[in-house]
Every structure is written in structure tokens, then in C-alpha cells.
Chains A and B, each alone.
Chain A
Amino acid sequence: MYKILKAEELTTNIYLMDVEAPRVAKSCQPGQFVIVRTDEDAERIPLTICDYDTEAGTITIVFQVVGAATELMKNLKAGDSFHDFVGPLGCPSEFVNEEIESLRSKKILFVAGGLGTAPVYPQVKWLHERGIDADVIVGAKTKDLLIMEEEMKAVAGNLYVTTDDGSYGRSGMVTKVIDDLLTEEGKSYDVCVAIGPMIMMKFVCLTTKKYDLPTVVSMNPIMVDGTGMCGACRLTVDGEVKFACVDGPEFDGHKVDFDQAMKRQQIYKTKEGRAFLKAQEGNTHHGGCGNCGGND
């Protein structure tokens, strides 16, 4: 069992937890992820790592309630435990293995969308601890959905916050900020790292392609085991089949087939949604999941 030391709601439907997992904390590096299960019969949920403390043996996770399993997760309190907590999975971010000197000469732009702010944070922090200040764009739908602004400010070079509805910071999508920075504001970067919803990563890649700005994305497809065994997380990168869990999760964003990846992500949406709504609404469920027509 893996004890939860802290649990808090960051904003509507987004939660943060510190979990005791010494093995994971000891080997963890930016870019990696974990898989958790709340109880004996729960599904395996892949989550990005938001922070880690090797000495305390803890991992910080941030998640959004999207289905039956995450609904169960949000009810856990400090003192409760996860049944399973495995990791760190996937490959660390490429820059972790780069020579520090060559890394220092690079200008890096991070683009975080929504919940993607969480996995961007440990990368920016890792660089900051090595004297490298990267610029960060954080985008959210609206002010209330913005997370970790203060934490990010403390480790980023320039932080550009934008909201789709203009309720806070700049106004508009993250792609607009990229355009503005690279043209009107005269910025230039050597590499971009974008993490967020697939649709956002797709459009960030289309934008950076215009500027020939190499872009790394972190893919979060459906997974089962997370160790390469099942192939559920396969995606096409540069015409080749890759497994996000062992070959990724980070890939060259200009080579990822996003349209296919997004289609694959729909596979279990209906089923998960059904299980969730059925549990919540019981006999009063009349097709609110938008799929079953109320007959399920």
C-alpha cells in the first residue's frame, strides 16, 4: 500500500496528492509517469509525475476527474492509501542526458495546457536547479482552471499565462502566444516542449512547424500495463509503430500522427463514461453519457 501524505483540490475537479513511494521517488526523472490503482478491482490509471522528493521518498501527482476511476481517486484523503503505485515508467526527457554545457547554450520554450502544467513543472524545475531558466507558456480555458502558477513562476524564466476566454493573463490559445512571442516580441528558441491535451499538442506542432522550431510532445494514450506488454498505447511516429510506454512518452511532435492518436483515445471513452454515469446516476441514468440512449 502507498500512503497519501497530502491531498488537496487545486481547482474544480483537479486534485494534487503527495504519495509515499520510495522506490519511485529514488529513480524518478522529469518526463516519466506512474500507474496507480485505488483498490483491488480498479483500473490502472497512468498519471504524469508533477514533482518528486527523493529524500522524503514521495511523489506528487496531479489529476483531473474524468471518469469512474478518477472519481474514486478524488475521494481519497491524507492517511488513505493507493492499492498500487508503480513507476517511474517511460523514458526521461531527452535533455536529462544532455551535456549541461550544451544545454545551457539552448533557449527552451515550454508550452503547458491545462493539466499539462503538472508534468511540465518538474522539467522546468530540473533545469532551474541547474541554472537554466526556460520560458514557459501556461494556457487554461479560464482563470479558475489555472493551476500551479506560483510554483511555476518560481522556477521559470519568463512565465506567460494565457486564458482562452481572456479572464486572466493574456487572451487566447497558447498557439497565439507562440506566434506573438516569435514574431512581434522578437523571441527565438532552439527547442519547444509541449504537454497538454492531444488537440493542443497537435496545434502547437502545426504552429512551431512554421518556424522550424523542433518540438517535443508527451503522449498520453490509453495504456494497460505500461511496460510494453500490451501494445494498447501504440501510435505512429514518422510512419513507424511506437509504444508510448517504453519508447516514449516523449516524441518528436512534428512526426506524430495526432489524428490517429486522437481517434484511438476515443476507444474507451464511452465505456468509461457509462460506468461512471451509471454509478453516479443509478436508475435515474437516462442516457446522460450521450452514448447509450439510456438503455444501458
Chain B
Amino acid sequence: MEIDVLKKVPVREQDAKVRATNFEEVCLGYDKEEAMCEATRCINCKNAQCIKGCPVAINIPGFIEKVKEGDIEAAYQIISESSALPAVCGRVCPQESQCEGKCIRGIKGEPVSIGKLERFVADWARENNVKPEGAKESKGKKVAVIGSGPSGLTCAGDLAKMGYDVTIFEALHEPGGVLVYGIPEFRLPKQDVVAKEIENVISLGVKIETNVVVGKSVTIDELLEEEGFDAVFIGSGAGLPKFMGIPGEQANGVFSANEYLTRSNLMKAFDEESNTPIMRGKKVAVVGGGNVAMDAARTALRLGAEVHIVYRRSEEELPARVEEVHHAKEEGIIFDLLTNPTEILEDENGWVSGIKCVRMELGEPDASGRRRPVVIEGSEFTMEVDTVIMSLGTSPNPLISSTTKGLETNKYKCIVAEEEFGKTSKEGVYAGGDAVTGAATVILAMGAGKAAAKGIDEYLGR
């Protein structure tokens, strides 16, 4: 295989026209030859910057070296030392701003395709039934982990590897958190990838109890005082969806992105044969410009709708990953930028019939450093749509903070936890992920879960 050292070995993808009509994975990943070829582009820096860019500090040059040699199993064990969910991270991490953003190769040319290599190694391990190595001996101590999303799975996996007896409590009927209810099938296959990564965590000895809403079914104080847990990690996720507060928002056909995605992903509404179908819109407006908005838009597109992203700033400010925006455009999502909804119109039966918007222009930078959108006078217009999906972020869920004595929250109602080890104001209780930071990324949550596992180990080792 011939390569241009300045460029990544290209990765195969489903054609945009074809994939716009199915829920199969968009990116097809490398095969072994392509991966080994891409691995030769890594120059194995002594002072590897990529590791510093990784929130869980994977020994990146180390595993790439093994890929180069064709020893994929060894590469997998190196990744597993730092990450419990490599097949997930290889797919959904924003590598361009993390490991690959720091890659020396990137200064002149394209960085090494670290994400795609990680994905290849993890997929290979799964296909060849290679499992991560578990603990040698038990520490004889019990830790409860609340939530089975990225931070909870990582924290649980790390603690189990250290020899702790870990139980994860999950509120929904299926483990995985946002990996299951939030991120769509075409970006992250549920059965082949997520379920298998969870099996790996279980194979380390972690127990998962579903259908337990901590704060309701049992409290943290009860877990510590009555059920014999020595420490608790809270990774309960982001929380309640935000709405704009404009007229018509309660009309039928207005969904939060959380609801829309949960129905499609967790409840499998995308499947026509499902018992729990979702309304298939003809013309859908998705309000917001983040990764979740892209996921909702691309889901609606696959369900057969004409889809518009309605975002009040310009393309430059879109918070979504460049790759997601690029994929969305390729598939035919229409971007109505510098546009802001002011009212949702309903028909006589209470169903959405349109959305009233105004055009915006960018003014002076605001507190976030981004240029503030300002309404252009007299620019009001109406877009005919039958479905509106609000993707405006979330506010913290009060279920745990309101039922746990001595657990401090900040002015945004997020749980306060020290960044280094995730320690909260309550003894023996650690926290991380979206419950602490507000909505962020899978890998940041994993980094926090990892840090908290260290913190808990130190606390229990005293």
C-alpha cells in the first residue's frame, strides 16, 4: 500500500446518499492493512504530545507501535490500561481537538488518525474475543456507581481492575446511559459496540442493577449506611432538557432532542415494526447547533423528513464537531444559520404547523467570547414545519442533590466536585461527568470517571 506521509490513510464511509436512508454506521473503519499502514505515520515522539491531549492519557505511541508490528492484541491491552470503552471513544471522541490536535505530524500535513486506529484495535479485539485483563486479587471493599454512562462505566471498570467490588445502579431498563439513549445507531452501533463494551466491563466483575433510580428507589445515604458500600461515585448525567420559553412550545410535535433521540435509540422507534413508534415528520426544524442537534437532525432525516438546522449564530460558532457538521451537510441537512425562532404555530388541533423566525446578525463579542447575535429588524418570516426538535442543552437533574445530605451544588445546581479526583463535599462520595460539568463530551466524562476511581482508591486505601 502506497501512502502520502502528509495525509491520513483515507477511511471508508457509506455513501452519503445511501446512508441518508438507513441507520447503518456511517464510517466503516480501517482494515488491518490500512491500520498498519497508517500506524507507520507515527514518529513515536519521545515527549508525546498526543498523550497530553487525551483526557484518559492512553499510551498512544505505545499502542500504535504494536499496530505497526501487527500485534493488535498487545495494542488492545495497552489501550485497556487507560480506557474501558475504546470502541466507543474511537468513534465519538473529538480527536481533532484532543490527541490528534496535538500530533506533531499535524504541523505539516494531517495528524496521525489516532481515533480510527483506536477504533480498529477495539473492533479487532471484539471480533477476536479478546477481553481486558481483570484484577488479580480482591480489596474486599464495595463501591456503588450511580449511572452506567461513560463516566460510570469507566470509573467502575477502573475500580474493578484495582480489585474493588463494584455495583452500578442504572435508572433506565438498559445500561449505557447516553451511549444507548442519546447517540444514534449510525454513529455508535448499540448491539455490536456498546453492548460489547459493557460486557467487557461486566467481565471485570462489575455488577449492574438496572431500574434503580438513586434518590428515589434508594438514597446515597442508604447505600452507605444500610447496604454496606464504602464509597459512591455519582455519574448520573446531564439532566432536564431546556426549552426556549417561546409561545407554542407545548404544541404536539415539539420534542426535546432528548425525547426524540431516546424514543428513536432506546425505544427503537426508528424500526417500523417497533411497538413504540415515533411521529415521522415531513419537515422538521431542529433548533440548536451542538452535537446533539446534529444527531437529532440526522435521525429525523433517516426517518424520511426534510430537515433544517435552525441556529442563531453563524457556521463558525456551531458548537458541533466539524466532522458531524460535514456529515450532516453531505446527507442533505439544510442549515438555516443566523436564524432564531420566536414562536411555534399550531393548527386547530394543537399540532405544529410552522415556526416563526427572525434573521440575526453578529454584533460585539459577549461573555462567552463569541459574537453576540442581534435581531435584524423587520426580518420575521414563517417556516412551514410539522415537527420541532429543541436541542438547547440541559439543566441538572435534582433527584440526587435534593435527596443527599451534605452534597454541595453550585449556582447552576451542578454537583461540586474537585477536578483532580472528583471529591465532593460529602465524605466517601465522588462525582464526575455531566452531573458535575453540565452537558459535555463522552471522553471528558470518562476522564472524570477515571480520576474519581483514583480518588476513591486513595480514600479507601487510607
- B287 in contact (CB, < 8 A): no
Pick from A87, A88, A230, A235: contact of B256, CB under 8 Å? A230
A254 at interface, CB cutoff 8 A? no
In this complex, which of B181, B243, B253, B262 has the most chain A Cβ atoms within 10 angstroms of its Cβ? B262
| B202 close to A (CB within 8 Å) | no
User: How near does chain A come to B284, taking the closest CB pair, in angstroms?
Assistant: 16
Are B267 and A264 in contact, CB atoms less than 8 angstroms apart? no
Chain A at the B interface: mostly helix, strand, loop or mixed? Answer: mixed
Indicate if B211 sits at the interface (CB-CB under 8 A).
Answer: yes
* B261-280 interface code vs A (CB 8 A; 1 in, 0 out): 01100011000001111010
The 21 sampled A-B contact pairs (Cβ below 8 Å) are: A27-B216, A37-B173, A41-B276, A42-B275, A44-B173, A69-B275, A85-B211, A86-B213, A87-B216, A225-B172, A225-B262, A227-B172, A227-B213, A227-B216, A228-B398, A229-B258, A230-B258, A232-B259, A246-B397, A260-B250, A267-B252
CB of A229 within 8 A of CB of B240, answer: yes
Given contacts A83-B173, A225-B181, 12 further A-B contacts (CB under 8 A): A24-B217, A27-B217, A37-B173, A43-B267, A86-B171, A86-B212, A224-B267, A227-B171, A246-B399, A263-B350, A271-B277, A275-B275
With A37-B173, A84-B173, A229-B258 known to touch, is A89 a contact of B216 (CB < 8 Å)? yes
**Bound: A271/B267 CA distance, A:** 15
A243 in complex: contacting residue of B240, B250, B268, CB < 8 Å: B240
A-B interface, 7 closest residue pairs, ranked by CB to CB distance from nearest = A263-B350, A230-B259, A86-B211, A231-B256, A84-B173, A43-B276, A231-B241
Query: Does A202 have its Cβ within 8 Å of any Cβ on chain B?
Result: no
**Residues on the A chain within 8 Å of B213, using CB:** 86-87, 89, 227
- A68 interface residue, CB < 8 Å from B? yes
**Nearest opposing residue in chain A for B171, CB measure:** A227
Query: Is A13 interfacial (CB-CB < 8 Å)?
Result: no
The reply on A158 being an interface residue by CB < 8 A is no
Please, which residue of chain B has its CB at the minimum distance from the CB of A235?
A: B250
- Are B263 and A229 interface neighbours, CB within 8 A? no
The CB with the most chain B CB atoms within 10 A, among A26, A83, A231, is that of A231
Q: How far is the CA of A227 from the CA of B213 in the complex (A)?
A: 8
CB atoms of A229 and B239 under 8 A apart: yes
CB distance from B296 to the nearest CB of A (A): 12
Whether B210 sits at the interface, judged by CB under 8 Å, is yes
| Residues of A that sit less than 8 Å from B by CB | 23-24, 26-27, 32, 37, 41-44, 68-69, 83-89, 224-225, 227-232, 234-236, 241, 243, 246, 260, 263-264, 266-267, 271, 275
Residues of A within 8 A of B252 (CB): 263-264, 266-267
B397 touches A228 (CB 8 A): yes
Contact B210 A84 (CB under 8 A): yes
CA distance A230 to B181 in the complex (A): 10
A142 → chain B closest CB, angstroms: 30
- The CA-CA distance from A234 to B172 in the complex, in Å, is 19
A225→B173 CA distance, assembly (Å)? 9
Whole-angstrom CA separation of A94 from B181 in the bound complex: 32
**Contact of A231 (CB < 8 Å), options: B216, B243, B275:** B243
Whether A264 pairs with B250 at a CB distance below 8 angstroms is yes
Which residues on the B side are within 8 Å of A86 (C-beta)? 171, 173, 211-213, 217
Closest to B278 in A: A271
B255, B275, B277, B399: most-surrounded residue (chain A CB, <10 A) = B275
Whether A229 touches B241, Cβ cut-off 8 Å, given contacts A27-B216, A235-B250, A260-B250, is yes
A57 to chain B, nearest CB (A): 13
Task: Tell me, in angstroms, the Cα distance from A134 to B268 when the chains sit together.
Answer: 45
Q: Are A23 and B250 in contact (CB under 8 A)?
A: no
In the bound complex, CA of A241 to CA of B263 (Å)? 21
A residues less than 8 Å from B237 (CB atoms): 229
Asked if B130 lies at the interface with its beta carbon under 8 angstroms from chain A, I say no
Judging by beta carbons under 8 Å apart, are A246 and B240 in contact? yes
Bound form: Cα–Cα A225–B241 in Å:
13
Q: How far is the CA of A44 from the CA of B171 in the complex (A)?
A: 13
Give the distance to chain A from B376, nearest Cβ to Cβ, in Å: 28
Q: A231 and B240 in contact (CB under 8 A), knowing A85-B211, A86-B173, A224-B259?
A: yes
Interface residues of B in 355-398 (CB under 8 A from A): 397-398
Instruction: Assess whether A231 is in contact with B397, with CB atoms less than 8 Å apart.
Output: no
A41 in contact with B274 given A83-B173, A86-B217, A266-B350 (CB within 8 Å): yes
The reply to whether the CB of B349 lies closer than 8 angstroms to some CB of chain A is: yes
A52→B252 CA distance, assembly (Å): 35
Q: Which residues of A contact B11 (CB under 8 A)?
A: none
CA distance A231 to B239 in the complex (A): 10
Shortest A267–chain B CB gap in Å is 5
A85 to B171, CA, bound (A): 11
Complex Cα distance, B263 from A44, in Å, reads 11
Task: Please measure, in the bound complex, the distance between the C-alpha atom of A84 and the C-alpha atom of B266, giving whole angstroms.
Answer: 14
B171 engages A236 (CB within 8 Å): no
Asked if B16 CB lies within 8 Å of chain A CBs, one says no
Docked Cα-Cα span, A245 to B88, in Å, equals: 31
User: Given the complex of chains A and B, what is the CA–CA distance between A235 and B213 in angstroms?
Assistant: 23
Interface string of B391-410 (1 = CB under 8 A from A): 00000011100000000000
Could you say which of B217, B268, B349, B399 contacts A228, with CB atoms under 8 Å apart?
B399
User: Which residues of A are found within 8 Å of B210, using beta-carbon distances?
Assistant: 84
CB-based contact B211/A84 at 8 Å? yes
Residue of B nearest to A88 (CB): B216
With a CB–CB cut-off of 8 A, which chain B residues contact A23? Answer: 212, 217-218
